Amino acid sequence: MKSENYIKLEFPSRSVNESFARSAAAAFAAQLDPTLEEVGDIKTAVSEAVTNTIVHGYPDSIGKVTLRARIMGGGRIEIVVKDWGRGIEDVSKAREPLFTTGGEERSGMGFTIMESFMDKLHVRSSPGHGTTVTMVKAIKPKKLGR
């Protein structure tokens, strides 16, 4: 589907960049006039996706992360977070609540959180070649009048 507008950001997988990516996605989504709740949903989902990249994609190194966002027809925003890191052996297993490869301090809820805050979530991964997380959220049109 053709996009109405788009952005593409690239940054190293440093934890300080998670808040930047979250804020950039929210600022880009602002053109759809989302509610504060919708902005919060987008920020939370992007935060989870980028954190997964940092913690799981590049656990022992710094690598490249891209965030692409595009405005699509019908008031929808698509956000794609991609890395070229370790990849996921079993995506179905990784999407199960409480499953984690990140140690005891990780909750294993990243994909579950992304899925609950966005309308669509697609995860594509290949061990040794990285992971691509695609999320879509429809921004509800505002009612005119009182």
Query: Is 52 designated active site?
Result: yes
Number of structural domains the chain divides into: 1
In a domain, 144, yes or no: no
In a domain, 108, yes or no: yes
Task: Residue 122: give the domain boundaries.
Answer: 3-138
Cα(121)–Cα(50) distance, rounded to whole angstroms? 14
In a domain, 143, yes or no: no
Q: What tens-digit pLDDT sequence spans the chain (146 residues)?
A: 677 899 999 999 999 999 999 999 999 999 999 999 999 999 999 999 999 999 989 999 999 999 999 999 899 999 999 999 999 887 776 666 555 555 555 555 667 888 889 999 999 999 999 999 999 999 988 766 54
pLDDT of residue 137: 97
In a domain, 146, yes or no: no
In a domain, 87, yes or no: yes
Query: Is 18 designated active site?
Result: no
In a domain, 76, yes or no: yes
Among residues 18, 22, 38, 52, which one is catalytic? 52
Q: Yes or no: say if 133 and 123 are a contact pair by the CB < 8 Å rule.
A: yes
pLDDT of residue 145: 54
* CATH classification at residue 85: 3.30.565.10
In a domain, 84, yes or no: yes
